[in-house]
């Protein structure tokens, strides 16, 4: 009985040193016409709450595959992912979606906004899915923080790439996620706009105390994170 209570206590403990993300022997294989291709091989690592970690590797090394698995957007061939102590792939599809909604934010290279929704509606969406109150006011406040107070009613096609990525950042942070996954968030932007997005990303991350897992092929961007995990040909290589 005491042991049970103690283990629950440990799970509830969100001290800064506890792992918020844990990948264990994470492997992804895909079928090609003549053989099974292993695009991620036995990745094992953990990310502690509050850390900023870069996943660095050349194009095709498996970065997006790994990030998609960590965020529960895709399922592995074998291995496991724990987010906040919960095993993502032992949950039902609904359970996984719920955990994702509560704990995870995601920013993509290609923005991935809903084209038929305004900036404000895009940012409100995750709050509405989670059933929280005050979605409109909270979404507006975050859009103001990313400098888009004058663009609330714009549709994605009416916004520049940099503005669209600001909306995507607002959407990712509005639920106050424990972990933010960002997949080459500046990959579709020119250098100056990309730098502004990076500054904003790190600022939002610092201000909200979010754990950051950032995928990039840019050494200099990776160096801004506290730790770098290197991927090469689907394998994590130790520095």
Footprint of Mg ion on this chain (CB under 5 A)? 63-64
- Interface positions, 103-142, toward ligand ADP (CB under 6 A): none
Which of residues 26, 51, 53, 57 is near ligand ADP by CB under 6 A?
Answer: 57
| Contact status, residue 30 vs residue 36, Cβ threshold 8 Å | yes
Choose between 60 and 226: whose C-beta lies nearer to ligand ADP: 60
Contact status: 156 vs ligand ADP (CB under 6 A):
no
Single out the segment in contact with ligand ADP by CB under 6 A; choices: 63-71, 80-88, 92-100, 112-120: 63-71
Single out the segment in contact with ligand ADP by CB under 6 A; choices: 16-24, 54-62, 111-119, 187-195: 54-62
Q: Position of tokens 């130790």?
A: 238
Q: Which does 57 bind (CB under 5 to 8 A by kind): ligand ADP, Mg ion, none?
A: ligand ADP
Contact status: 216 vs ligand ADP (CB under 6 A):
no
Q: Position of tokens 């509405």?
A: 128
Measuring CA to CA, which residue among 234, 216, 238, 237 is closest to residue 76?
A: 234
Contact status: 95 vs ligand ADP (CB under 6 A):
no
Structure token digits, residue 83? 């987010």
Contact status: 186 vs ligand ADP (CB under 6 A):
no
Measuring CA to CA, which residue among 39, 104, 34 is closest to residue 72?
A: 104
Pairing mode, strands 86-87 and 36-48: unpaired
Contact status: 219 vs ligand ADP (CB under 6 A):
no
* Residue span 5-44 as binding mask against ligand ADP, x where in contact by CB under 6 A, dash where not: -------------------------x------x-x-----
Count of chain residues binding ligand ADP (CB under 6 A): 11
| Contact status, residue 215 vs residue 182, Cβ threshold 8 Å | yes
| Contact status, residue 237 vs residue 204, Cβ threshold 8 Å | no
The CA–CA distances, whole Å, from 190 to 84, 92, 187, 203 equal 35, 40, 8, 20
Q: Tell me which DSSP letter residue 188 carries.
A: T
Residues that bind ligand ADP (CB under 6 A): 30, 37, 39, 57, 59-65
């Amino acid at each position: 009985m005491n042991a049970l209570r103690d283990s629950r206590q440990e799970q509830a403990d969100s001290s800064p040193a506890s792992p918020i993300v844990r990948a264990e022997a994470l492997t992804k294989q895909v079928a090609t016409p003549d053989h099974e291709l292993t695009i991620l091989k036995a990745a094992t690592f953990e990310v502690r709450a509050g850390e900023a970690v870069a996943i660095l590797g050349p194009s095709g090394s498996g970065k997006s595959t790994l990030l998609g698995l960590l965020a529960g957007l895709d399922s592995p061939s074998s291995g496991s992912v724990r987010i906040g102590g919960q095993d993502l792939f032992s949950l039902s599809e609904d359970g996984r979606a719920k955990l994702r909604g509560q704990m995870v934010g995601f920013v993509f290279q290609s923005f991935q906004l809903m084209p038929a929704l305004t900036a404000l509606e895009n940012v409100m969406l995750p709050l509405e899915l989670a059933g929280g109150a005050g979605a409109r006011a909270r979404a507006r406040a975050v859009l103001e923080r990313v400098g888009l107070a004058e663009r609330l009613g714009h549709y994605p096609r009416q916004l520049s790439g940099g503005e669209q990525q600001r909306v995507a950042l607002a959407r990712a942070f509005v639920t106050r996620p424990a972990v933010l996954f960002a997949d080459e968030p500046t990959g579709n932007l020119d250098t100056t706009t990309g730098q502004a997005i990076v500054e904003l990303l790190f600022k939002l991350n610092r201000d909200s105390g979010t754990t950051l897992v950032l995928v990039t092929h840019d050494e200099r961007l990776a160096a801004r994170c506290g730790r770098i995990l290197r991927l090469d040909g689907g394998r994590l290589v130790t520095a």
